Structure 1
């Protein structure tokens, strides 16, 4: 892409794929979803909850995440803007279908996340907030919000968390690809332990001319 002219950029952050080296469930199948939010600094007025999935996946399988459902952020930002996002990754009941395909469930989850995350972010300092504080507040508020919206989610297993601070000024125009690895490694692995689960999540950040 060509370099942006002026001080505005078009920014897209999205999950692109998920690879499972080993599932949490002993059946060899997990039903994985992501929940959290993306936000700017406190007082900016911008934060947006996110629920992606669940996606059924098996051990040693790669699943692509569709472009429309994997978006974490899409919009125009100033080169001075900073975003932080936090996503909790959980495995739910195998009978749960994609939350985005069930309007009532999706709206309940989004509403609870919006309310709880707002109240977690709002007390943070308006200026000179510590790096990572916004993402930390998102991650802290997300589990209770999910359960408040849907009590059955209390039984879900946490597989990992994804968080990142994105300073627009740090990224010239182009596509940036990232892979985030997480799992539960038995501390006695060297003594014959096993990896209980292992995942790789790929996501991209696209920077381009303002539209």
Structure 2
């Protein structure tokens, strides 16, 4: 067995989606592996051009658990700029609902048999519990498959950007996350 931990390091903004000021950056998703299902939802981080921000410590760990050798955790993340107000008072219930929805969706298959995109789709649909996500700006989507084998510590960067035009509804972000194996 390999102890695997995936945690957010920070998000760097080169260019916000909003042209009038800071974005409210947050993540929705889920990860599954080794009998563990983890729904992911971060509360918004107010971030402006040329800023680097960390996530709340209690929301930075995306996954932690023991994974059989040779297996992977699967799932993914979607990043949003919050434009429509959410009821963040329901945060705890929303995370539970995301985790429960993912568990239900993969109940008929092994986590190894579940597709990362399926896990991510279920997580995002369940997150709609806090408000209509389709009113927020989708900044990027990434499917993740992280193997239990690899270096003891590595950092990966997820770049999400939309460029062009005259700056209206463009953005450029890099999210850094760390993978630890022991």
In structure 2, runs of 5+ residues without a counterpart are none
Matches within 5 A, 1:122-201: 122-124=107-109, 126=110, 129=113, 133-147=114-128, 149-169=129-149, 171-172=150-151, 174-186=152-164, 196-201=170-175
Once the two structures are TM-superposed, the CA of residue 95 in structure 1 deviates from its matched residue by 6.2
Q: What is the aligned counterpart of 1:9 among 2, 7, 30?
A: 2
Answer yes or no: is the 8 Å Cα contact 1:21–1:199 preserved in 2: yes
In structure 1, runs of 5+ residues without a counterpart are 1-7
For 1:59 and 1:81, how far apart are their aligned partners in 2?
A: 39
Q: Higher Cα Rg: structure 1 or 2?
A: 1
For 2:100 and 2:64, how far apart are their aligned partners in 1?
A: 21
Partner of 1:109: 94
Secondary structure of residue in 1 paired with 2:175:
strand
For 2:111 and 2:153, how far apart are their aligned partners in 1?
A: 30
Q: What is the aligned counterpart of 1:78 among 64, 68, 81?
A: 68
Once the two structures are TM-superposed, the CA of residue 167 in structure 1 deviates from its matched residue by 1.4
Secondary structure of residue in 2 paired with 1:177:
strand
Once the two structures are TM-superposed, the CA of residue 31 in structure 1 deviates from its matched residue by 0.4
Work out the number of aligned pairs and report it.
182
Per-residue Cα deviation, 1:59-104 (whole angstroms, up to 9, x for no partner): 111112344421111223332331113111111148669x4xx4xx
Q: Check if 1:120 corresponds to 2:108.
A: no
For 1:15 and 1:9, how far apart are their aligned partners in 2?
A: 20
Matches within 5 A, 1:58-69: 58-69=48-59
Give the structure-2-normalised TM-score.
Answer: 0.84
Instruction: Classify 1:13/1:26 alpha carbon distance in 2 versus 1 (closer, same or farther; 3 Å).
Output: same
| Pairwise CA RMSD | 2.7
Give the structure-1-normalised TM-score.
Answer: 0.74
Secondary structure of residue in 2 paired with 1:27:
coil
Once the two structures are TM-superposed, the CA of residue 128 in structure 1 deviates from its matched residue by 7.4
Partner of 1:26: 19
For 2:36 and 2:130, how far apart are their aligned partners in 1?
A: 25
